[in-house]
Structure 1
Amino acid sequence: MPTSHQYLTSHDLAVIQRVLAKAGFGSSKTAPGIDREAARYVMRQFQTGLTGEAELTRALDHHLGDRQK
């Protein structure tokens, strides 16, 4: 179910940040463009209703796997 608010809260951003950190984004080893793309993807997923950390992590892993094919 989509989130009922238009803007992301600090809690929402913390969830997104944890998902990205677990996936290795935001470190000095990743390219800034890839970091931004991953962040945008996770934020879009969150805003469409995928708000659980585990679900977001799986979606990001799947998205990144599709990009490499």
Structure 2
Amino acid sequence: MTAYVPGIAETDLKKIILALQQLAAGRSNAVGSVTLATGTSTTVVADRNCSAGSTPILTATTAAAAAELGNGTIYV
């Protein structure tokens, strides 16, 4: 879910409150995508929205990826 992000110089209190309400409701802009390389055992994701405390949610976009998820052979 995408959240409204006010600019650093935002002075409209309603926009700032909207952003806070959306974050409290679980919305954020911490989204992205990564393609796992075939034949490798690890993939490092470097993104400012991704850190050691992040919880990635993997979604298969191909039949092969769906099989890997179904087999339980992907670990985070």
TM-score by length of 2: 0.26
Which structure's CA Rg is the greater one?
2
Structure ranking higher in helix proportion: 1
TM-score by length of 1: 0.27
| Structure of higher RCO (CA pairs closer than 8 Å, 6+ residues apart) | 1
